[in-house]
Amino acid sequence: MRSNIKQLHEQIKAGNFLALARGITIVENELDGYESLLLNLHENRHARVIGVTGPPGAGKSTLVNALLRHWLHENKKIAVLAVDPSSPFNYGALLGDRIRMSEFYTNPGIFIRSLATRGALGGLNAKIIEITDLVKDAPFDLVIVETVGVGQSEVEIAGLADCTVVALVPEAGDEVQTLKAGIMEIANIFVVNKADHEDAEGLFRNLRILAHEKAHGTTEIPVVKTIATQDNGVGELADEIMKFLNAQKEMPEKRLHLLTEKCWQLIQAQRMKSIDHDKLRKEMAIAIKQDDFNLYAFTKDFLTTIK
């Protein structure tokens, strides 16, 4: 099995899309060999991660499509991880984003994979960090992660991405104040999509004001108007993204926080492997019958028996 995983990893590094798709499946579902695959990954400083988020209906997938067309003309190789809402019945992805990106299916320069949130908070897949690291081991220039939506709980994308693009539409104008705290924390670039719609200019001005208030003497967050269905403004957006990426010199604090939290989760999972659930249940069944039963004292005593 180890030799098969090593061979799979070599194929992924060589740019084999089928091998990458299989590798993602192994990691996402924790199939045999997934730990070996992750342990062999190397940090790729070349591939940069772009997060695209925003409320439902903001045209995120259309915007990603337009960016793909733009960067293809620059001969960039791009991976897209589109995180779809989960089916409430089987936790599978509803695959809406993959349908909307159908024009790029057979393009040798673009890899697209839909992932289900599977009930994970933050609009992302629970294995998104591992999957993104795996994709970065392939020879891509850019990795685009498109999330389900945006809100107070979705700051995780800010830690995962090197640049986070928040897309809004004129219809969301009344929601700007509600979203203010969340989007101002995670956005590196604002996009007013569907800029030909009514009230687009008002939303644009409001975002410029918010960006100015947030700046406090530092560089203001760029606000770009686009009409993604017509590719209008997409070149300017792409330029702002690359300008932001090129200006980064150190690891952002949010990414350090995310990686620390992920490491904490991995340590917890490893520690939990030594706990026998059946043994815990049997001992609980005995202890709970005692008049002086205390859950916290029981837990403390149980942990001492497995050290």
Neighbours of 119 (CB within 10 A): 9
pLDDT at residue number 69: 94
Assigned CATH class of 44-253: alpha beta
**pTM to 2 decimals?**
0.83
pLDDT surpassing 70 at residue 1: no
pLDDT at residue number 172: 57
Neighbours of 92 (CB within 10 A): 12
Q: Please, what is the Cα angle at 209 between 252 and 250, to 5 degrees?
A: 10
Every domain of the chain with CATH number 3.40.50.300 lies at 44-253
Convert the pLDDT of each residue in 216-261 to its tens digit: 667 889 999 999 999 999 999 999 999 999 988 777 777 788 788 8
Burial class (CB in 10 A: 0-12, 13-18, 19+), 158: buried
